[in-house]
Amino acid sequence: MTVLTGDYVVVGGGTAGCVLAARLSSDPGARVVLLEAGEASGPRAMSSPDPLAAFSLWSTSVDWAYSTTAQPGTEDAVHAWPRGKVLGGSSAINGMVHHRGHPDSYDAWEKQGATDWNYDALLPFFRRSETAEGRDPHVRGTDGPMRIEASPAPNPLAEAAFRAAVESGHTPLEDGNGRVSEGVSWRETNVAQGRRQSAADAYLRPVLARPNLTVITGAQARRLLLEGGRCRGVEYTVAGEVRTVLADRETVLAAGAIGSPHLLLLSGVGPADHLRETGVEVLADLPGVGGNLHDHVTSYVVYGSDRQPPSSDQRPPTGPSAEAHVLTRSRADVAPDLLLLFAGAALRPRWTGADPGGYSVLFSLMDPSSRGTLRLRSADPAVPALIDPAYLSDDRDLDRLVLGLRLARELGGTKALAPWRTAESFPGADVQDDDSCRAYVRSTASTYFHPVGTCRIGTDELAVVDPQLRVRSVAGLRIADASVMPSTVSAPTNATVLAIAERAAHLMTGG
């Protein structure tokens, strides 16, 4: 059996893993091994600056192509959960949005027991991750790997959408990632010099020549090697060959909200009763592993139009046209919990495609109350986990999404958009009362592709990692990815994962 040794072993070459590999290997005396189940690169569409190109990457070699169990809250629909299986992970196949959300999202973590995990504590790591020229340097980065460039000028339809948001009463913001985040702003994207910029592009590829960094692709982790209460390394396969990598200092899981808990469970770390039922030897009874699974839930209002903005091939080659998004509240007495996003296309329900000849207003619940689970189907590492996000199992989520639907309609039906609007295609004029709106939401709601929470930070018995991101009851093992979030944030999660990974590297190296 092939045996490799490093000081640090990082499992997962996605957003967090690329950050960790780059930062840890900046010390020439630290040997770093990064395992990634996917390949180093993928289809040409991965470099496209068009967010809609993400659709063409689903169910390809760069997608894990997960799916949920049937969801009673969404009329028993089974939801596709695309996740990146390539260097860069989901940052290589997502919609490229770079958005932090509201500070309250992070302050909520500390209130749930994640000591010293709040917005102020994370702000230095948000700044460290990015370069955002022309922004306030007190809150935005000036020399980080992820370059946030100004989007090309908005097309006339996008300009009308921004005016529509202001007409609807939303405060216009110069920078939605700045000191004030509630209101309408132009969406920032991970596009640099006209190409998608994944975490691999920004962090990993510039440092691949370091002699102390070993990156192994096509490496499927099978189990953690646990001995005497300590993680010694990882067993993995490459082209069917079983191999081992040992960590002299620490192993770090960065496999995401699905991969990290799945590997813990396969290794005997998790709820004892569930592990026994699945035939896995219990090595550490951690009941919180795989619990607390939640995801942003979204739907959209779609309008027909007999006018079209310039098509993508007529736009400047530097990136996609700017689009407006709105962060707002369902009620005055709660933190911002709804995100409205404008799209210059007629989206089909549940991400089944997009058509020209219209526009859409997405409405997404940013802090769902519903909580689900990730569990083993089998002790065989090759068998996908059971993913049950329990969408809309808490009625409060449905009520707030109905409010989001009404706000999206208000925006989509404004005077500013009247020249572009023929009629409301979905849900349609006959859907007005609360019952019919609830029915529409249940029949169309789906993932916003941001699962989190399955290995959450905390100090109680259901916490999986402590505030230093160390796995409870297992020495030499940390987790640094979206799975550690106690609750999700009021934005797409990629920017937050960058900051979590930056802070994890800081914690591991003492700064």
Q: Which residues are annotated as a binding site?
A: 86, 94-97, 448
The structure tokens listed for 393 are: 């199992």
Q: Longest C-alpha distance within the chain, in Å? A: 69
Taking the C-alpha atoms of residue 280 and residue 378, their distance in angstroms, rounded to an integer, is 9
- Amino acid in the structure at residue 167: E
- Burial of 469-492, coded b for 16+ CB within 10 Å and e otherwise, reads bbbbebebbbbbbbbbbbbbbbbb
Query: Residues annotated in the binding site for FAD, as ranges?
Result: 86, 94-97
Please pick, among 102, 170, 325, 450, the residue that the annotation labels catalytic: 450
Angstrom CA distances, 430 to 125, 258, 358, 393, 427, stand at: 48, 39, 19, 26, 8
CB neighbours of residue 102 within 10 Å: 22
Cα 276 from Cα 284, distance rounded (Å) = 12
Asked whether 272 and 282 are in contact (CB, 8 A), the reply is: yes
Chain centroid to CA 292: how far? 15
Residue ranges for the known binding site for substrate are: 448
The rounded distance, in Å, linking the Cα atoms of 507 and 108 is 21
d(CA 450, CA 184): 21
Whether 450 sits among the annotated catalytic residues: the reply is yes
3-class SS of residue 182:
coil
Say which DSSP state 125 is in.
Answer: H
Q: What's the per-residue H, E or C state across 328-395?
A: ECCCCCCCCCEEEEEECCEECHHHCCEECCEEEEEEEECCCCCCEEEECCCCCCCCCCEEECCCCCCH
Looking up tokens 């370059």, which residue turns up?
147
Parallel, antiparallel, or unpaired for β 386-388 and 32-36?
A: unpaired
For 173-207, b/e burial (b = at least 16 CB within 10 A) is: bebbbbeebbbbbbbbbbbbeebbbbbbbbbbbeb
Determine the Cα–Cα distance for residues 278 and 98; give it in Å rounded to an integer: 39
Q: How far lies 447's CA from each of 140, 285, 296, 297, in Å?
A: 29, 31, 6, 5
Residues taking part in catalysis: 450
